[in-house]
Chains A and B, each alone.
Chain A
Amino acid sequence: MKKFYQLFSIVFALLFLCLPLIKHIYTGDEIKSEENRNLTQMPSQAINLTSLSKYTSQFDTYLADQFGFRDAFIRTANRLRYRLFNEATSKQITMGKNGFIFLNSHSAKHLYSLINNVCDIKPLTKNLQDDAIKVFSKFIKLYENQGYQTGIAIIPTKSRIYPENLLNPQAEICQANTTTWLDKRVKEVTGRGIYYPLDKFRQWKSEFQVFLPAYFHWNGELPYRVAEDMMKNYWHIEPKLEVKSENTSVETDLKRFLFGLNIHDETKKYDYSPYKITSCKGAHCFKDLAHVYKRIIGFRYFKDSNTHRKLLILSDSFGAKITPHFIRGFDEVAMIELNRLKKKERLAFFESVLTIEKPTHFLLLFHDGGSKGRTLLLNNILSKYD
């Protein structure tokens, strides 16, 4: 019987080691993965002895991306870690208190940078702050002078609104730092000023779930309310449509980091179907801009009305959820995400986008963690107007 156990274990272990290889041979290489990136493909052959070392290292990377049952292994590892320790395999995710999940950084190289930035744990330098205020004012003035009703919206993120659900030490610091540099200095932006709804979010927190626990971006009621508030109080436009909502369940937008876990949130879904709204999603809706922004992502919404108002939003990933709600006050709303805009495309894009789109209203929207990035972007673009 002991021999049987031994034999069973040996066969089982060997089989387990062989299966990834067998599957890889059988199914071949994959290209896309759940991780939102292309998987490494087989490297081209090494030509000489010196390049052989580099080749083997590339081959290691290739095999690590392509071995059979990779997804199943990763899914199991993620589930085990989550169930046993309430932790995510990716260090970019902070599993906070009360079911809250925070994206702490956009890059694995700078963990916690997102939280540290927005909570002023690592604030922008005084020079960068000055630059930000200057360039935001300049942006508004420049495009207002060109005839566009121009605005900037900075959206506070979850760690500002629910700091108590972070883990220590971030929880303690974010709770203590109730006023950050942005809160203090945002009023210095001249012209129309910046739409920065931090106080509103804090007030709304007692009325509804401002940010969904497992979501990084906003969703449901919050973007709806912000769109309404912006139209009324920032642009003085009365939204026309009355929209009904119903409760729905949404999968976390952090699922790339939580692959294999089935985490959902309850939220509100707004129903625009009674109104004749047409929409267009994707690069083909912006054909005229393709020559200046190759990998463009964007949405368009049209409504059959005659307000003669068209809104153009240039945004980060927060733009997608708020865009449809602006249709309540505009005939047309177009949103273009800047995340894929390459450095060398910036100038040409900004020079073309307004003349091609011809909006009446122009909005730059980003979340508070993106202040530095947007400052640098605008500095780069607007420097020619000095």
Chain B
Amino acid sequence: MIFSSITFLFYFLPLFLLLYFITPFKNTVLLIASLFFYAWGEAQYVVLMLFSIGINFSFGLLIDKNSQTQTKIKQLFILSLGVIANLLLLGYFKYFNFISGDLLHIELSEPVHLPLGISFFTFQAISYLVDVYRKEAKVEKNIFNLALYISMFPQLIAGPIVRFKTVAKQIHNRLHTLDNISKGMRIFIIGLAQKALIANTVAITADEIFALPESALTTAVAWLGAFCYTFQIYFDFAGYSNMAIGLGLIMGFTFPKNFNYPYISQSITEFWRRWHMSLSTWFRDYLYIPLGGNRISPFRTYTNLMLVFLLCGLWHGAAWTFIFLGAYHGLFLMLERFKLSQLLDKLPAIIRHTYTLIVVVFGWVIFRAENLTQLQYYSKTLLGLGQGTSVLETIPTFFSHSLATTLTFAVLFSLPIFNYLKTQFKSTISNQQSVKTLSFHAIFEIFYLSIFLLSIVNIASGSYNPFIYFRF
């Protein structure tokens, strides 16, 4: 079940909110709803999630118990076992097909199915164990509370990756205020609009262009496809994160921000500080810094950077293209750390920005490519070295009025314009009850409700499937 589906919006969400707010057993309702939400998509893997909850609960208790009585080494050993258990789960379900097929060339009679959200809930579980070990979080002694943390439906299948210490207190005790509900609802609406109005629209064109054979792909069309995909992945992912953050806030949870206008970055280093922040900080805190961070020799720092980004690429998916993506971003981060940043600092902002965008857009082509063959010909075409010609698949074929409008909004909303306007507005408010202030509040509410309605209408119309002749 995805947030932008009819099932979620018109059935699951209203029923859940009704039950959640009328019953006093909010955690129970949330836990049952989360397991139901997961079971809807992956019924047979609920057991796997329960197993993950069980082992992490046990390892958490063991780490905590040994922190008081045993040596550090034994505690570290238990932590390692816990992390390995999580990684084995992830490794088997996510990478078994890749290892056996692409690396060992063994044909599997039945490929291993990748359970929904396993990358997210495994990383959350690891962060829990490490935080308990580091004493940055208190061990959770109630298995239902830990189950709620791991399975909580808003962030279960697409993040953000929430640390246990961030929500531990809120799991036990949280406030449900009108301000939080209202703010949460707005963030949810923004996310829904990002997904339904922008990502879904540009996705159609991106899909059509990436489906073109090499012989029909021209340079201009390839760039249009790459730009559409660049906006699709951002608004899809950021939209989903915002919906999760908004839903969390409605229920009184504060989830971390996951995107901070990544496309305004002026370097790849800055890009990764703004893109999927919960993942990059996870890798920073649980891998890069433990490996030595910046406080070691330059050679080891570069090696660690590359290693972290190779793993980051691999986290996104089990395919050569993802490994290549990790190496690609790792390489630019290494270059920037070496000398490139100093050089970029001397250049005008527009050039720094252009450099970053080109690297990022090309990176998304790596991400989107079905395989290395497609990556090869698509890249060649982007560089003007492709052989493709087509009389049909030209820019006018894809560039409709709706796409042009959506791309314009995509560019605008990739910039912090809306935040700027809100800040400007707040700074001009002198009197909370003035007509001007109240009008602004009304305008904002109308704006949110309008884009909410538009998004809902857009999603609902997705089920429209007409036939010119009657189908039985």
Contact = CB atoms under 8 A, between A and B. Distances in A.
B397 interface: yes
Given A2-B441, A76-B457, A112-B392, A256 B6 contact: no
A100 interface: no
B452 A73 contact: no
B181 A10 contact: yes
A169 B464 contact: no
Interface stretch (B96-104, B153-161, B277-285, B399-407): B399-407
A48 to B, nearest CB: 9
Given A9-B445, A9-B449, A87-B401, A77 B460 contact: yes
A12 B456 CA distance: 13
B14 interface: yes
Contacts of A92: 466, 468
Nearest to B208: A111
Interface in B395-417: 396-397, 400-402, 405
A68 B9 CA distance: 12
A216 interface: yes
A206 interface: no
B13 A8 contact: no
Question: Number of contact residues on A: which range applies?
Answer: 35 or more
A90 B433 CA distance: 48
A85 B401 contact: yes
B42 A5 contact: no
Interface stretch (A31-39, A181-189, A375-383): A31-39
Interface string B434-472: 000010011001001100111011101111111111111
A119 B68 CA distance: 81
A47 interface: no
B342 interface: no
B296 interface: no
A49 B43 contact: yes
Contacts of A17: 9-10, 13-14, 456
Interface size class of B (residues with CB under 8 A): 35 or more
B7 interface: yes
A3 B397 CA distance: 48
A173 B391 contact: yes
B179 interface: yes
B470 A36 contact: yes
A352 to B, nearest CB: 23
B441 A169 contact: no
Interface stretch (A59-67, A275-283, A358-366): A59-67
Given A59-B7, A60-B6, A169 B460 contact: no
Contacts of A53: 41-44
B182 to A, nearest CB: 4
A36 B467 contact: yes
Interface string A41-64: 000000001101100100110011
A74 B402 CA distance: 17
Interface in B17-32: 17-18
Nearest to A75: B461
Given A67-B6, A73-B461, A167-B396, A317 B185 contact: no
A216 B452 CA distance: 35
A80 interface: yes
A14 interface: yes
A368 B432 CA distance: 69
Interface string A70-112: 1001101110110011110110100000000001001010001
Nearest to A103: B468
A254 interface: yes
A16 interface: yes
Contacts of A139: none
A203 interface: no
Given A116-B392, A168-B396, A169-B391, A6 B182 contact: yes
B182 A169 contact: no
Contacts of A216: 468
Contacts of A3: 178
Contacts of B341: none
Given A74-B464, A85-B400, A37 B7 contact: no
A286 interface: no
B39 interface: yes
Interface string B369-385: 00000000000000000
A63 B11 contact: yes
Interface in B29-85: 39-44
A119 to B, nearest CB: 10
A77 B469 contact: no
Given A70-B463, A85-B402, A77 B397 contact: no
A50 B44 contact: yes
B233 to A, nearest CB: 22
B402 A10 contact: no
Interface string A10-40: 1011101110110000000000001111100
B5 interface: yes
Contacts of A106: 468
A10 B394 contact: no
Nearest to A254: B468
A211 interface: no
Contacts of B11: 21, 63, 67
27 contacts: A2-B441, A6-B178, A9-B182, A12-B449, A14-B17, A16-B453, A17-B10, A20-B10, A21-B11, A36-B466, A36-B467, A36-B468, A36-B469, A53-B42, A56-B41, A60-B6, A60-B7, A63-B10, A67-B460, A67-B463, A74-B460, A74-B461, A85-B401, A92-B466, A112-B392, A173-B391, A216-B468
Which 3 pairs from chain A and chain B are nearest by CB?
Answer: A77-B461, A73-B460, A52-B43
Given A49-B44, A56-B43, A68-B10, 14 more contacts: A2-B438, A6-B178, A9-B182, A16-B452, A35-B467, A38-B471, A52-B43, A63-B10, A67-B6, A73-B457, A73-B460, A78-B464, A173-B392, A259-B464
